[in-house]
Structure 1
Amino acid sequence: MSLCSLLCQQRNVLRKQKHWEKVIMAKKRKRTQERERRKARQAEGKGTAEQHSKRVLKAIMKERLLEAKESGPRLCVDLSMADHMTKKETSRLAAQIRRLYGANRRAKKPFWLCLTEFVMGSSIYEECFRMNDGFSNYLMDTTQESYLDLFPLDTIVYLTPDSENVLEDIDPKKVYILGGLVDESIHKKLTLQRARDQSLQTARLPIREYMVKTINTKNYHSETLAINQERRA
């Protein structure tokens, strides 16, 4: 075999080898692209499903709230005592209103919420809008009027921790009032006296019956949401 023929054969072998290398690389690129497209489709499908689920859940929560608006029960936050609070306490109350709305909105059987004596320009009014994003879009009523002007007296139940009556069941025909008061100085029986002055029914949440007391870091007793296991047993 001549040197020329040998060189030609070697070139042919190299050419074929390069060709197959290109073919293999092309197949690898194709598989990689297909894998990436498949992942993208899966991610898109998952995102669409999650987005759809969020929309459905939001619609369900809205429907439940509007049903409560029509047929009850109702829960009003009485903001007439806002003048008793410091700026710090007012900020805490605004944060509690946000948490109340969020928890109620997620409940299977929510209340229809109403802020009464929610006076435009007041400290609590300003704090609610300052601290709570989207506050103006909350599905609830706000009014500068008193609950006394909105509902019959015999339907109103003022919730106060000092009441002797324990609230065991929720009556959808009743309107429950929460005193909008964060008072670090602890004015004893302020809400109870207010209810008595207005000749209203009172009740307290069954915290003592279903919760337990703990001592917190500030060295005073507080009733917490820990479940009383002995009562459940």
Structure 2
Amino acid sequence: MYLNSEEQQTEMTHTPSSDMCEVGLSEVSEMMDLLHIDVETDVVEDRPGRGDALCSKNVLRKQRHWERQLAAKKSKRKEEKQRRKLNREHESGASADNPQLSKRVLKAITRERLAEAQSTGLKLCVDLSMTDCMSDKEISRLAGQLRRLYGSNKKATRPFHLFLTDLKEDSRLYRECIRMNEGFLNYTMDITEESCLDLFPPETVVYLTPDAEEALETVDADKVYVLGGLVDESIQKKLSFSRARELGVRTARLPIDEYMTKNNNAKNFHSKILAVNQVFDILLTLCETGSWTETLQAWFPRGKGYVVAPDDSLPPSTQT
């Protein structure tokens, strides 16, 4: 069947338009679906995104704070290292004309000095026979004091020949010295289970104890000086004096009464009992200076409640 020209024109006009409308509506619907999905996705993902941003800011702030702290610590360590270096140079008198010796050379010099002291140095024993009377805390403190005593001897121009007597290998102190003091068994000193009387004649021994009546005047090369291995907070009175009486040897005390006076303090505290390393530092300095006033001024602990007396208040026999 053939259509006339008007019908053909009408058919050609309406049929494509209908198809195009249907296609257009379908595309719009799909686009709306896509837009709907994107909107929902944005809504869902928006909140976590904000949280991540806030979290990131906190992390960055903490990281910057940590970096500032780290930089401050590095700067402080650098300053401290520089300060120690300057102190070492000052103590050793280092300069352009007198460069600082290397650690290896200094150690060699120290070993040589200590080795020489083993044959020519003044003799000093630390009597460690009384450790059974001490608590574990006191044992630990004594081990630390022995380390400081040895450290002072290493630095001394004229070191002593040191002996640790009555130190048994199965004792608490022996184990604590090994635990606390690195290289203890390599110390340049004599460590023995024997007593001072097993090593030296009684007439040469002078036992230093704060309870002695006689004041020590000088350090003699032909004498052997003994320090009681007790910590300064021990509550047992006259223990070192009793030990000296048991050995039957001469006793002496530091001349605190002769050169010092009590210093008024809020606690009204006065004590003449010193740690073994403190007594040793006093003996070392006395050997170098020959002056009790200078020695006690330098080494007697201020917290003990005593100060060096003025020269005009000293007894005539002690004035120079």
Structure 1 letter corresponding to 2:301:
L
Does the 8 Å contact 2:138/2:234 carry over to 1? no
What pairs with 1:1-233 in structure 2 (closer than 5 Å)?
Answer: 50=100, 52-182=101-231, 184-210=233-259, 213=262, 220-223=269-272, 224-226=300-302, 228=308, 230-231=310-311
Distance 2:242 2:209 in 1: 10
SS at match of 2:301: strand
Higher helix share: 2
Higher relative contact order (CA 8 A, sep 6+): 1
**How far apart, in 1, do the equivalents of 2:266 and 2:148 lie?**
23
Alpha-carbon contact 1:158-1:195 (below 8 Å) kept: yes
Count of residue pairs brought into register by the alignment: 185
Please report how far the alpha carbon of residue 134 of structure 1 lies from its aligned counterpart in structure 2 after TM superposition: 1.3
Change (3 A) 1:213 1:125: farther
- 1:85-119 alpha-carbon deviations (Å, 9 max, x no partner): 00000000000000111012111121111111110
CA distance in 1, matches of 2:267, 2:146: 24
2:20 alignment partner in structure 1: none
Shift of 1:185: 4.4
The alpha carbon displacement at 1:190 in A equals 1.6
One-letter code aligned to 1:91: S
Whole-angstrom distance in 1 between the partners of 2:184 and 2:267: 32
> Structure 2: 5+ residue runs without aligned partners?
1-95, 273-299, 312-318
Query: Larger deviation: 182-191 or 192-201?
Result: 182-191
CA RMSD, Structure 1 to Structure 2 (Å): 2.6
Deviation at 1:196, TM superposition (A): 1.6
**Structure 1 residues without counterparts, runs of 5 or longer:** 1-45
Q: TM-score, normalised by structure 2?
A: 0.52
Q: Is the 8 A contact 1:167 1:203 kept in 2?
A: yes
Secondary structure of 2:164's aligned partner? strand
- Relative distance call for 1:54 and 1:213 in structure 2 (3 A) is farther
Q: Distance in 1 between matches of 2:102 and 2:206?
A: 37
| Distance (Å, rounded) in 2 between the aligned partners of 1:184 and 1:69 | 32
**Structure 1: distance between partners of 2:242 and 2:151:** 30
Q: Per the alignment, do residues 62 and 185 of structure 1 end up closer, same or farther by CA in structure 2, a change over 3 Å counting?
A: closer
What TM-score comes out, normalization by structure 1 length?
Answer: 0.70
Q: Which residue of 2 aligns with 1:8?
A: none
Structure 2: distance between partners of 1:179 and 1:66 = 25
Identity of aligned residues (%): 58
Q: Which has the higher strand share?
A: 1
Q: Secondary structure at the match of 2:103?
A: helix
Whether the aligned pair in 2 keeps the contact of 1:213 and 1:222 (CA below 8 Å) is no
